[in-house]
Amino acid sequence: YYIDTPTREVVAYDYDNATGAITNRRTAIRIPEQMGHPDGMCIDSQDCVWIALWDGARAARWDPKTGRLLDTVEVEGVKQTSACALGGRNLDELYITTSTQGFTAEHHRDQPNAGFLFRCKVDVPGVVSRDVLAVLCELDGVAVIGARVHPRDVALNDHARLEVEPLEASQCLRI
């Protein structure tokens, strides 16, 4: 997938594992203007995508085969959601990064949770095809990462339970 933020489109391609060739460009998802701009994304075990929506104060789950919106997680006290990743022991935690890029003192007052990393439980877990080391956020100009994850058995459910909570900086690993 390729996210074209200015046009609010997510483009899909066919990928050949043997050659690395990408072909068959097509628009998979069009983000409505009122939802913000698509930014970072991740893929779950049902081949759906979670997309952070810049200026949208949320991450949203989409079916890229139909372009249909399936679920949303709203993040309170922040507009600029920037990326998301599925992690945790069972890959059933959605991590959502937020940004303070371009902020003034007024922005900080209006969006007190900007710059924090948020986490919520989801019922459709992520998928691991290889060992993965994912960059989750940036704190004070330093990359913050999640743990190396390995394939494991996971249970699949149809509905997400979305309880969003901020993570403290002390819970993150700096590199």
Q: Which of 4, 14, 16, 39 is catalytic?
A: 39
Q: Kindly state the helix (H) or strand (E) to which residue 108 belongs, with its residue range.
A: helix 105-110
Is 140 one of the catalytic residues? Answer: no
Q: Count of CB atoms within 10 A of residue 13's CB? A: 14
Residue pair 46/53 in contact (Cβ under 8 Å)? The answer is no
Residues with catalytic annotation?
A: 39
